[in-house]
Amino acid sequence: SFGGICSKRLNTGLVTVKNYGNQLPQRIVHLTLAHELGHSLGSFHDKTEQCIPLESSSLTRNNGNFLMYPSASDGKGYNNDKLSPCSIKYISKILLAKKDKCFQESGQPICGNQLVEEGEECDVGYNNADPCCNELSCKLKPGKECSPTQGPCCNSQCELVPSGQSCRNETECALEGYCDGLATICPDSLPKAKYTLCNQKMRLCLNGKCSESLCAKHNLEQCTPDSQSIKEECHLWCQTPGDPLTCFSSTSVFLHQFFNSTLLPLPPGSPCKEKQGYCDMMHVCRLVDDDGPIAKLKNAIFNPEEFEGISDWMKANLWTILFGILILGALMSSTVFIFGKRLDSGIAAQETELQSF
């Protein structure tokens, strides 16, 4: 069972910003964090048809799956950042049971948490040696203009840095950021040109984020092939927007004018198989096992339903089992007879040699 709020254990979540060594899109990181927080608030994975639109015949299936779906999401579906009715039901139970015990908002800034909140000028935690900020009141010290805790555009001398000084590194999709000399925060970076290649030239930039498929450059949308091949799933397929009958591989003659019949692998970590798996480093679709191998082994050993299934199979195949036992017994008897006879011969030979002395 999940831990989460009010739990003294099972109360920690872990989210990575990289997958197979590649930086994940910011949107995916945000959704993954929200998904884990959903667990902390008491929600299980969505498993019923009511809460999994993509696996239903509902007219809203194109809106995508909800936040607590167990497998991959590209973050573009209308439902991808929303809780399903199932999740809301789970979380409501937890909040009703525990909110009055520990899940209470203070309503006041907490001086010392290293977050500059409303009513605070700075917050350096419990660093009483900070030259700019009073750690007890979270106010600037007399004569100090700012604190580096307010943003990267304040230096260690407690002064605003001059306009034009770098405060954010250039990324694949955004230009370098520069201070404006007026505020401590770093102004938003200007995005690079629309559809600039990014993520090892496997995706495109849009509005400063590496988020678009290569299909978008040609007014197409990425699609999933109607194929059982786990390798085809992890290469680029594009279609005319909204028309799955036009879903073709980048190697197809229908898309030759755009991709020159080149086989284009999807970035490792991309969703595949109707968003039920991820592409690995070998560009093979690996289906996600919600329980994991350890849980499956545990269920196979301790689950009463598994025992019932084994019992039913044994009853239905009684003669097969008996025949197998007889064959195994015969093999064991033959092995003992053959090796036992050789052992007796060896002992007899040794006794003969000893008698000769």
Task: Please name the residue that has the structure tokens 């230096």.
Answer: 155
Distance (Å, whole) CA 27 – CA 34 = 11
Structure tokens at 190: 């200007």
Question: Catalytic site residues?
Answer: 36
CB-CB contact of 284 with 231 (8 Å)? yes
Do 264 and 204 contact (CB within 8 A), yes or no?
no
DSSP, residue by residue, 289-350: -SSHHHHHHHHHHH-HHHHHHHHHHHHHTHHHHHHHHHHHHHHHHHHHHHHHHHHHHHHHHH
To the question of whether residue 235 is assigned a binding role by annotation, the answer is no
- 282 — phi, psi (to 5°)? -90, 10
Coil, strand or helix at 287: strand
256 assigned to a ligand binding site: no
CB burial of residue 83 (10 Å; 0-12, 13-18, 19+):
buried
Which two three-digit tokens encode residue 281? 């480093």
Annotated binding residues for Zn(2+): 35, 39, 45
Known binding-site positions: 35, 39, 45
